[in-house]
């Protein structure tokens, strides 16, 4: 969607007549159905004055095309400024200009990320050159008109209030690669930006290019397809086995049939390969030139999937990451906007009132916005009250939108070295559901230990990590988590303390929360369900806190509301202990099922420890 478009002459006249902000605001209200916030209005009023001077002094042709606040299709992102036209060789080009009001910035050791004052506080945000480059790359990869009509994209960032300091954090060495991709122009660089625009679009004839960009279909280019396909080749993490292959081929067959709307439900417990299938489905659907997005409500899961697929190669990662998104943005998308939406960890989709979600029901959003939707779900992994987590709800909403439902179940276990029995035992022992493995499993197939101290759990996990295995410490949310503003950005404060054993470790650092599972510092920090759900390790050490206890008289597990520290996780459940207990038991099942080769457990509640030992014939 284009909020404002014109030619260069009309743009200059609108600024000269002090009408540009009014025109943009009116177009915004008409196109978006809401008013812009005052920060956006101030930014337009300020930045457009600078851009008018750049356009006028660059002496680009009057019939260059100008787009302002271009909403990138299939995303919630808007591009500040695009100018289109031809160069001296008559090549059709466009230039994206990312505009910033900043006058100061802090560098970070994270790739292409800085800290700047935004929205009333200092936040982590992509480097402006990275933002500009990523938008250009998305259009080049996904807008059919751009890649099929040989329209060349360029990008840059313009910080008109920012004056260089020495040394300049915005231009530190770690940002030089992305600055070469998308040049950075600061307050004293107006003439350089003018030359940049003149060189690429100065000959004009760009208004028609705006029409092509706006109306180009969103589908992957051959270059993007080849790029993604190459990432899967030889990557053993994504090899399909047995019934995984059957489910994948069913998805491919149904998604390519566009005669009716379809909803595909793939259900399976931990270790059944849901994520392997969903990632392969993304690649396969792209190869069929479908407009597809991969949705994962959990940010940590999304990040680790991208890192695993790209092997942490920076530019590969960036192109790939644009295909991944969270679940909260689809409430405002038009019907059937996407060919296919693939939803992993669908049990974490939210309803009304969830944090930062403005819609009513994320399942409905996704079904409405796509011709085909695929939900990978496990009804026993709901962990918060706002998690919808219901196959029945997917069926209900699919019927509401006349979407044909197809269901597949994954039964075979691929995690835990084939120890399906262990996972069934966990279900039975945690009183989640009765299973045939109430009396144990073949313990030669999976290493499980209940130990007396949390220190012993850490020693076991550290030893496995030192041997080259993927190993991590996990715990239930039974300890408070000290905030950033109290000096805990990098896991400085050991919140997880168990005084009786002189044990203390920090929660996973917020600075690496999305990559904790694969970050080298992760071994000395404890992860929670929010940073580990959907992921897998070779070995996990699990600390069960006082939020889950055992009543030996009633022979029942029960939750302790005061000991459970996740405020959003227990909202509205103070007098609903049965419901809270169900959620906390699900959490510990998830934590205990993250390991493929082994799991070590310490229980703080002695009654619970005794009970689990009796059930496992352990110690």
Asked if the bond preceding 167 is cis, omega within 30° of 0, the reply is: yes
- pLDDT classification of 421: cutoffs 50, 70, 90: confident
Residue 619 has pLDDT above 50, yes or no: no
Give the pLDDT confidence score for residue 234 in this predicted structure. 66
pLDDT, tens only, 37-52? 888 888 898 999 999 9
Residue 96, strand partner residues: 82, 155
Residue 443 has pLDDT above 80, yes or no: no
Contacting residues for 397 by C-beta, under 8 A, at least 6 apart: 361, 363, 364, 367
Task: Give the span between the Cα atoms of 283 and 306, in whole angstroms.
Answer: 12
- pLDDT classification of 617: cutoffs 50, 70, 90: low
* H or E element, residue 79: strand 78-86
- pLDDT classification of 566: cutoffs 50, 70, 90: very high
pLDDT, tens only, 493-514? 999 999 999 999 999 998 888 8
pLDDT, tens only, 456-504? 999 999 999 999 999 999 999 999 999 888 889 889 999 999 999 999 9
Give the pLDDT confidence score for residue 389 in this predicted structure. 67
Residues 268/410, Cβ–Cβ less than 8 Å: yes
Residue 420 has pLDDT above 90, yes or no: no
Contacting residues for 17 by C-beta, under 8 A, at least 6 apart: none
* Averaged confidence pLDDT in the chain: 90
Which pair of structure tokens corresponds to residue 255? 């998604």
Degrees (nearest 5) of the Cα angle 355, 351, 432?
100
Residue 172 has pLDDT above 80, yes or no: yes
Within 10 A of 35 (CB to CB), how many other CB atoms are there?
Answer: 11
Give the pLDDT confidence score for residue 193 in this predicted structure. 98
Give the pLDDT confidence score for residue 332 in this predicted structure. 83
Domain ranges of the chain: 2-215, 222-410, 417-616
CA–CA distances in Å: residue 441 to residues 447, 483, 618: 11, 42, 12
Task: Give the span between the Cα atoms of 268 and 277, in whole angstroms.
Answer: 11
Task: Give the span between the Cα atoms of 28 and 216, in whole angstroms.
Answer: 21
- pTM beyond 0.85, yes or no: no
Question: Closest by alpha carbon to 591, among 536, 529, 519?
Answer: 529
Task: Give the span between the Cα atoms of 34 and 41, in whole angstroms.
Answer: 13
Within 10 A of 161 (CB to CB), how many other CB atoms are there?
Answer: 14
Residue 312 has pLDDT above 80, yes or no: no
Give the pLDDT confidence score for residue 438 in this predicted structure. 66
- pLDDT classification of 406: cutoffs 50, 70, 90: very high
Q: Pick the residue with more confidence: 346 or 271?
A: 346
Task: Give the span between the Cα atoms of 280 and 80, in whole angstroms.
Answer: 34
Contacting residues for 191 by C-beta, under 8 A, at least 6 apart: 57
* 563-582 burial code (b ≥16 CB/10 A, e <16): bbbbeebbeebeeeeeebbb
pLDDT, tens only, 144-153? 999 999 999 9
Give the pLDDT confidence score for residue 224 in this predicted structure. 87
Which pair of structure tokens corresponds to residue 585? 């038991």
Residue 321 has pLDDT above 90, yes or no: no
Question: Closest by alpha carbon to 99, among 35, 19, 162?
Answer: 162
Residues 359/331, Cβ–Cβ less than 8 Å: yes
Q: Which CATH architecture has domain 222-410?
A: 3-Layer(aba) Sandwich (3.40)
pLDDT, tens only, 323-332? 888 898 899 8
> How much of the chain, in percent, has pLDDT values that exceed 90?
64
Give the pLDDT confidence score for residue 353 in this predicted structure. 83
């Amino acid at each position: 969607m284009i909020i404002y478009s014109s030619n260069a002459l009309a743009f200059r006249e609108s600024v000269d007549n002090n009408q540009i902000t009014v025109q943009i605001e009116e177009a915004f209200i008409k196109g978006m159905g809401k008013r812009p916030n005052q920060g956006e209005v101030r930014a337009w009023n300020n930045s457009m004055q600078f851009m008018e001077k750049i356009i006028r002094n660059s002496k680009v042709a009057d019939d260059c095309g100008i787009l302002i606040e271009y909403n990138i299709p299939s995303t919630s992102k808007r591009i500040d400024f695009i100018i289109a036209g031809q160069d001296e060789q008559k090549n059709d080009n466009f230039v994206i200009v990312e505009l910033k009001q900043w006058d100061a910035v802090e560098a970070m050791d994270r790739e292409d990320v800085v800290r700047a004052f935004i929205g009333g506080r200092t936040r982590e945000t992509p480097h402006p050159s990275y933002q500009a480059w990523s938008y250009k790359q998305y259009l080049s990869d996904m807008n059919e008109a751009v890649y099929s009509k040989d329209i060349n994209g360029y990008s840059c960032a313009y910080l008109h209030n920012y004056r260089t300091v020495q040394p300049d954090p915005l231009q530190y060495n770690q940002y030089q690669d992305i600055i070469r991709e998308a040049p950075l122009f600061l307050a004293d660089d107006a003439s350089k930006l003018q030359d940049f625009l003149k060189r690429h679009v100065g000959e004009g004839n760009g208004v028609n290019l705006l029409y092509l960009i706006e109306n180009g279909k969103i589908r992957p280019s051959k270059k993007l397809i080849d790029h993604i396909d190459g990432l899967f080749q030889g990557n053993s993490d994504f090899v399909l086995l047995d019934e995984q292959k059957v489910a994948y081929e069913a998805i491919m067959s149904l998604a390519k049939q566009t005669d009716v709307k379809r909803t595909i439900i793939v259900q399976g417990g931990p270790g059944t390969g849901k994520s392997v299938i969903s990632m392969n489905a993304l690649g396969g659907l792209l190869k069929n030139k479908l407009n597809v997005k991969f949705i994962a409500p959990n940010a940590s899961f999304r990040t680790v999937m991208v890192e695993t697929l790209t092997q942490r190669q920076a530019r590969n990662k960036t192109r790939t990451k644009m295909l991944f998104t969270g679940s909260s943005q689809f409430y405002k998308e038009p019907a059937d906007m996407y060919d296919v939406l693939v939803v992993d960890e669908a049990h974490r989709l939210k309803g009304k009132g969830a944090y930062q979600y403005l819609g009513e029901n994320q399942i409905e959003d996704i079904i409405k916005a796509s011709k085909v939707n695929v939900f990978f779900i496990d009804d026993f992994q709901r962990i918060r009250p706002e998690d919808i987590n219901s196959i029945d709800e997917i069926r209900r909403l699919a019927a509401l939108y006349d979407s044909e439902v197809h269901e597949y179940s994954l039964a075979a276990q691929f995690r835990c070295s084939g120890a399906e029995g262990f996972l069934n035992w966990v279900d039975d022992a945690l009183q989640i559901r009765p299973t045939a493995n109430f009396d144990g499993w073949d313990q030669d197939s999976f290493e499980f230990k209940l130990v007396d101290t949390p220190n012993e759990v850490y020693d076991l996990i550290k030893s496995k990590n030192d041997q080259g295995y993927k190993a991590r410490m996990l715990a239930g949310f039974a300890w408070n988590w000290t905030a950033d503003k109290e000096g805990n950005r990098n896991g400085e404060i050991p919140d997880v303390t168990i005084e009786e054993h002189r044990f203390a470790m920090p929660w996973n650092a917020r600075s690496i929360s999305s990559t904790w599972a694969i970050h080298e510092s992760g071994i000395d920090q404890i992860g929670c369900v929010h940073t580990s759900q959907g992921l897998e390790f070779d070995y996990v050490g699990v600390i069960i806190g006082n939020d889950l206890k055992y009543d030996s008289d009633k022979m029942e597990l029960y939750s302790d509301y005061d000991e459970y520290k996740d405020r959003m996780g227990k909202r509205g459940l103070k007098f609903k202990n049965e419901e809270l207990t169900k959620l906390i038991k699900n959490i510990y099942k998830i934590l205990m099922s993250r390991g493929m080769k082994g799991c070590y457990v310490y229980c703080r509640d002695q009654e619970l420890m005794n009970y689990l030992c009796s059930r496992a014939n352990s110690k």
